[in-house]
Copies of this chain bind each other. A is one copy, B any other.
Amino acid sequence: MARERKFNTVELFQEAKHLLLQHGYDGFTFSLLADRMEISRAALYKYYDNKENLITDFMIYEMEDFLHDLKEIDKLEGFEQQFDFLIDVIFKKTELHELIKAAQHVMDRTEAAFTNKEKLKKLPLDMYKFLQRFILLGKDEGKLKSHIPDGLIIGFILQTVAIPNHFGIPKAEWIHSIKEIITQGMFINK
């Protein structure tokens, strides 16, 4: 009955991700996005009331996607297998980290407490809680040192993704070495 849409949400989120990673929250503009999608800025406002909404909508989509991938972890038996899987998932979604940074901008700057923001606040916590089960398993199985705080273990693992590979070491070697440091440390045991 109406005209056919010139773009779909998936495409929009793709471009939004690209721009958000490249320019950050403030550098992300409707002009930029509209230009890339070859639509008018106004068109975007048909679907998102404002910049904040667009970005939080996208963030939620992205985080849920990550969580979804992550939840596959439960299908694996034993801590060590799960650990390997976790590292892989994290490195598959390298960008999420950057996005979370951008997300914080949204939260810090605007007062209004929308449902979107509530959701967004909950998602990282969900993730932490979810991963805590995994940590627990590791500690139960006697694999993980029990005296190291859970939050640090999780944070540590998640953060490795952000280590800059300045010398272009091949990905496989890179990840392998990271796993080794995380598990056994970089020091030689005597």
Residues of A within 8 A of B (CB): 22-27, 101, 105, 108-109, 124-125, 128, 142-145, 147-153, 155-156, 159-160, 162-167, 169, 173-174, 177-178, 180-189
Residues of B within 8 A of A181 (CB): 148, 152-153, 156, 182, 185
> Is B24 a contact of A144 with CB atoms below 8 Å?
no
Nearest B residue to A184 by beta-carbon distance?
A: B185
Number of copies of this kind of chain in the complex: 4
Q: How far apart sit A89 and B156, CA to CA, in the bound complex (Å)?
A: 19
> Is B183 a contact of A185 with CB atoms below 8 Å?
yes
Looking at the complex, which one of B128, B165, B174, B185 makes contact with A185 (CB distance below 8 Å)?
B185
Residues of B within 8 A of A150 (CB): 167
Given contacts A105-B27, A144-B188, A186-B144, contact A149 B163 (CB under 8 A): no
Looking at the complex, which one of B125, B142, B166 makes contact with A151 (CB distance below 8 Å)?
B166
> Is A151 a contact of B165 with CB atoms below 8 Å?
yes
> Is B180 a contact of A189 with CB atoms below 8 Å?
no
> Is B148 a contact of A187 with CB atoms below 8 Å?
no
Nearest B residue to A189 by beta-carbon distance?
A: B189
Residues of B within 8 A of A189 (CB): 184, 189
Of A144, A152, A169, A177, most buried by chain B (CB within 10 Å of CB) is A152
Nearest B residue to A178 by beta-carbon distance?
A: B152
Closest chain B CB from A79 CB (angstroms): 10
Nearest B residue to A102 by beta-carbon distance?
A: B24
> Is A155 a contact of B149 with CB atoms below 8 Å?
no
Q: How far apart sit A148 and B188, CA to CA, in the bound complex (Å)?
A: 11
Nearest B residue to A164 by beta-carbon distance?
A: B155
> Is B151 a contact of A187 with CB atoms below 8 Å?
no
Residues of B within 8 A of A164 (CB): 155
Q: How far apart sit A113 and B95, CA to CA, in the bound complex (Å)?
A: 27
Nearest B residue to A183 by beta-carbon distance?
A: B187
